[in-house]
Amino acid sequence: MNTQKLRDNYPKLIGYMEEAGYSATYIKKVRREIDHVLSRAESKGYVSYTDIYLEYANKSSSRGYLRDKLNCLGIIERFDNRSQYPDGRQRQQIVKRGLYHLLLPKFKAVVDCYRASESKRNKKATTIIGEASHGASFLYALQQKGINTLDAITEASVLSVFIGDDNTLRRSCSYKKDIAAVLKACIRENPDRPEFTRILAYLPELREYRKNIQYLKPDEAEQIKQALANGDSGLSFRDRAVGSLALYTGMRCCDIAGLTIDDIDWEKELICIRQQKTGAPLELPLSITVGNAIYDYLVSERPETGCEYVFISENRPYGRLMSGSIGNISNKIMKAANTRQSTGDRRGFHIFRHRVATELLGSGVPQPVISRTLGHTSPDSLETYLSADFKHLKECALSIERFPMPEGVFAHE
């Protein structure tokens, strides 16, 4: 591993971070990591930055410690190998994500064939990523069993991926559907290769189960409203604005993260966006509560910057918040509201979106209007929210008056 370029140029990286407003503590961490790389890379025989990180991983299992090391090494690697300065948004490429890079060339070709086929059919990029990831996972599981070619895949080996030795189900129906999508794409592209059809036939018949979806109860919603409205709740203006958007409009995290200054029409009191998930336009009313929360953030707290996005990081270099950061704000809000703090409680912003749907359903708003409000492209997307529409579900309940019941069965303690 040649470190001469880093040795000659690292002062430029440190100088950039100082000018960009990075904290002295963070700069000190990066500087210390540079010293480590320069002093030990050649003596230890490192080939890449991955080797340096793996040395840390072998010594410690602390997620926080390893995350810090990976972040610092990521900054140094991008500067050293690609002459890129940090911007707070680029992902490190030291440790590759997913299992695709671990596959044999013949199995990689299967995933590549799927990606190429579905890209031509204009399938959503996020769907392709998910199905390709599961396809790589499936093939890697077979590879771990000593199977190195498609011809060597048997029905028993396929079933072993889905069903454990104790006869318990290890993979879901949705996982199986993703594997089927990969194989079907390969069948379309290679009609003269029967192995894909054969493996597709080996996939087990699985029943699709739907878990009961946790919903926001009225008292929980009230606690959250009070936390968002209360200036003494410990929440920043930014967190309160993000929470208000999620609670009162049901916008997805990715759409809140992608909201720009120009998306808000203050005169017409509208929010007009193009949805990140579907690409379809969406127009929502800008209520007084939401508008005031966003205005307070823009005027009282948002740093002066040329960034076009409404919600930006609190620390320099200022840049847009990503969807993951928006999701973390939900945990802050739940904690400030002192609600949903038990293990297993659902805390993500999707529960706010669920609340908007059930509130509208309970108020008798027609389903097509609700679908448009939530930005659904398919009417079927609303079905998952119907289970919490207790007002109308009770209207469908059958009376049990004609069935004899012992006295006290329905008595409240």
Q: How many domains does the chain have?
A: 3
Tell me if 264 sits within 8 A of 275, measured CB to CB: no
Tell me if 29 sits within 8 A of 65, measured CB to CB: no
Is the pLDDT at 390 greater than 60? The verdict is no
Domain shared by 276 and 375, yes or no: yes
Tell me if 316 sits within 8 A of 21, measured CB to CB: yes
Tell me if 118 sits within 8 A of 128, measured CB to CB: yes
Q: pLDDT higher for 409 or 322?
A: 322
Please indicate, yes or no, if residue 378 is contained in any of the structural domains.
yes
Domain shared by 178 and 291, yes or no: no
| DSSP helix/strand/coil, 103 | coil
Distance CA 370, CA 307 (A): 32
Q: What is the pLDDT of residues 6-62, one digit of tens each?
A: 999 999 999 999 988 888 999 999 999 999 999 888 777 788 898 888 888 888 878
Distance CA 70, CA 52 (A): 10
* pLDDT for the residue 318: 82
User: Quick one: 206 exposed, middle or buried, by C-beta within 10 A (0-12, 13-18, 19+)?
Assistant: middle
The DSSP call for residue 318 is P
Please indicate, yes or no, if residue 296 is contained in any of the structural domains.
yes
| DSSP helix/strand/coil, 403 | coil
Please indicate, yes or no, if residue 123 is contained in any of the structural domains.
yes
Domain shared by 271 and 222, yes or no: yes
Dihedral angle, C-alpha 87, 90, 91, 94, nearest 10 °: -80
Report the candidate in 344, 339, 387 with the shortest Cα–Cα distance to residue 213.
387
Please indicate, yes or no, if residue 20 is contained in any of the structural domains.
yes
Positive/negative CA dihedral, 37, 41, 42, 44: positive
Please indicate, yes or no, if residue 91 is contained in any of the structural domains.
no
* pLDDT for the residue 93: 77
* pLDDT for the residue 125: 84
Q: What is the pLDDT of residues 203-215, one digit of tens each?
A: 999 988 766 677 7
* pLDDT for the residue 122: 82
Q: pLDDT confidence of 98, banded at 50, 70, 90? A: confident
Tell me if 98 sits within 8 A of 136, measured CB to CB: yes
Please indicate, yes or no, if residue 87 is contained in any of the structural domains.
no
Is the pLDDT at 382 greater than 70? The verdict is no
Print the domain residue range for 76. 4-82
Please indicate, yes or no, if residue 253 is contained in any of the structural domains.
yes
Domain boundary at 167, 202, 237, which?
A: 202
Domain boundary at 202, 236, 261, which?
A: 202
pTM, 2 dp: 0.66
Q: What is the pLDDT of residues 118-147, one digit of tens each?
A: 999 988 888 999 999 999 999 999 999 999
Residue found by looking up tokens 């960034």 in the block: 307
Tell me if 354 sits within 8 A of 385, measured CB to CB: yes
Distance CA 66, CA 60 (A): 8
| DSSP helix/strand/coil, 348 | coil
User: Angle at Cα 209 formed by Cα 186 and Cα 374, nearest 5°?
Assistant: 85
Q: pLDDT confidence of 381, banded at 50, 70, 90? A: low
Positive/negative CA dihedral, 337, 339, 342, 347: negative
Domain shared by 223 and 349, yes or no: yes
Least confidently predicted of 60-74, 301-315, 345-359, 390-404: 390-404
Please indicate, yes or no, if residue 320 is contained in any of the structural domains.
yes
Positive/negative CA dihedral, 226, 232, 237, 239: negative
Residue 246 CB neighbour total at 10 angstroms: 30
Orientation of helix 194-202 relative to helix 155-162, angle to 10°: 50
Report the candidate in 78, 79, 1, 94 with the shortest Cα–Cα distance to residue 41.
1
β-pair partners for 264 = 271
